[in-house]
A and B are shown apart, each in its own frame.
Chain A
């Protein structure tokens, strides 16, 4: 029973940690499947996290904050599109530029507005997304196994966690079952063919990047208004890059990407749990080793099990009509 509880609690933590990764990885999926490399996920998330926390602090509403986070992220995404779709700039450079600009700009604005050293005021009450208790969660709790799983694992998360869970099938449906999705995939593989069919490549890429901005905005807002309570300098702490890795890991497909994100988050949860715990035979494992665990696991899996990842063919290449 004890082991069962530990596993449920580990998975519970996994869901919380995986949420921003899943949203950001799906965001990256739209961008990259349309043929635009998006290394700027990190910056967009950070920008959204800052805008969401700042606006939520001023308005007192987490939803208004979320709106501001999404708008900020879409604006950054459009900047990326303007630089590398309209002006055919280098996509990696543009993405990196977004990361650097936001990393500097957010604390600077925060300093100017709130005078708290680049942080936003701590959020409380309605300015944060609180955890929701699903119907019957408390009455179900006493039902063995199923009830506990329902009450502890399924219930008790905030709304964005459920949004992320819903986003996976929705994004998969958009990408594989709608006209827009088909075109996004086509434009990432062979933009010339798409152009020949009478569809504007640039406009389509703009649209895909807008979706990227939307999802990234939700991911960033989650960090500062749901999981955390306020913005702190560099609070994304590499999650954008991790999401990008998960996307490649998942071969640019929604469901495998989801599992890659869950795996990263799970190792993170295990890592918190294993620190300082005396294990049979080996004894206490050093902190450094445990913290390297997610990366070691990633390398092993990438090298041994995942197989060849085929990126979209036209990725990284700006589309020029006549060549």
Chain B
């Protein structure tokens, strides 16, 4: 029944859009992944990017939120069939779906975020998460009084290991004696949506002496940040700026500028400058970074910001090498 309902939604969206299509000959579409477009993290960043595009150009878009693994392929195919000029696919898990849809629809452009598919009509955008994680690791080590910091990942996949490794290197760079406690929430996609488990993992890390924790775990991370706020410990958010959730206990957020990437992909597709291939966005391209705002003012001190800026410059110049887990 869910599937029928979902199909109905796509159909309605398509019908609603066909009226618009005459006004503007550009039809963008986006497929969000599990977690949904309001996950306050990865998908929400993409939503913000496409909303910005809509606001500036007045062009509406088709969207689909994947809630079951089996829907991915169907959703991507549908968007192409409904005449989308460009389909943005969010998340590593959509690679297989994009590959299939791209082969079947060679005239449609596909932009895949977080994974690489090598086809002439696919643009793959990946981020140097390890670089951004390195910087927040530096801040974590400096903010920690106990010399112990924590990391909580969502599903145990290479992408999350990449966050973990960069973070660990950053922590040890700032304080070689520091200890990093690492936890993964699970090995199935349910690990992205289990805030109570996240909360328990955070509590267990705090009990073991950690006083700063970095959550790269989607919806599960919300439980981690909440627990840090409850226990008056520091937490680091991920992907989107999550500092506003708990002002005072949020040290910073590791930003992954998915919003910029989505916005740029749409703009370039509209202008006709869109190119297939792989784009790697790191510190140099401002694809990753950290947040400094009114919510973490005072928590993230000037010393930490200075150290992070210095590390950032060194990474860009190549003086600091951050290991990419995927290249190992």
Contact = CB atoms under 8 A, between A and B. Distances in A.
B184 A117 contact: no
Contact of A223 (B196, B226, B245): B196
B200 A122 contact: no
B289 interface: no
Given A104-B2, A116-B38, A287-B156, A228 B199 contact: yes
A255 interface: no
Contacts of B67: 233
A17 interface: yes
Given A229-B226, A273-B208, A276-B181, 11 more contacts: A16-B203, A117-B39, A117-B65, A118-B36, A227-B199, A229-B222, A232-B222, A233-B219, A238-B190, A268-B200, A291-B187
A122 B193 contact: no
Contacts of A137: none
Contacts of B222: 122, 229-230, 232
Contact of A237 (B37, B183, B190): B190
A191 B248 CA distance: 60
Interface of B: 1-2, 36-39, 65, 67, 156, 181-184, 186-187, 190, 193-197, 199-201, 203-204, 207-208, 219, 222-223, 226, 245
A232 B193 contact: yes
Contacts of B226: 122, 228-229
A269 interface: yes
Contact of B219 (A232, A275, A288, A291): A232
Contacts of B182: 275-276
A65 B38 CA distance: 23
A235 interface: yes
Contacts of B37: 117
B201 A291 contact: no
Contacts of B200: 13, 16-17, 268-269, 272
A234 B193 contact: yes
Interface residues of A, number: 31
A201 B226 CA distance: 47
B36 A233 contact: yes
Nearest to B156: A287
A234 B190 contact: yes
Given A9-B207, A269-B200, A235 B195 contact: yes
Nearest to A5: B207
A119 interface: yes
A240 to B, nearest CB: 14
Given A288-B187, A291-B186, A117 B36 contact: yes
B17 to A, nearest CB: 20
B194 A235 contact: yes
**9 A-B pairs with least C-beta separation:** A117-B38, A117-B36, A272-B204, A276-B182, A9-B207, A229-B226, A116-B38, A228-B195, A275-B183
Interface string A266-304: 001100110110000000000110010000000000000
7 contacts: A16-B200, A104-B1, A117-B37, A122-B226, A235-B193, A269-B204, A275-B183
Given A118-B36, A268-B200, A275 B184 contact: yes
Given A227-B199, A228-B226, A272-B200, A288 B156 contact: yes
Given A13-B200, A13-B204, A230-B222, A237 B184 contact: no
A228 B204 contact: no
A16 B195 CA distance: 14
Contacts of B187: 287-288, 291
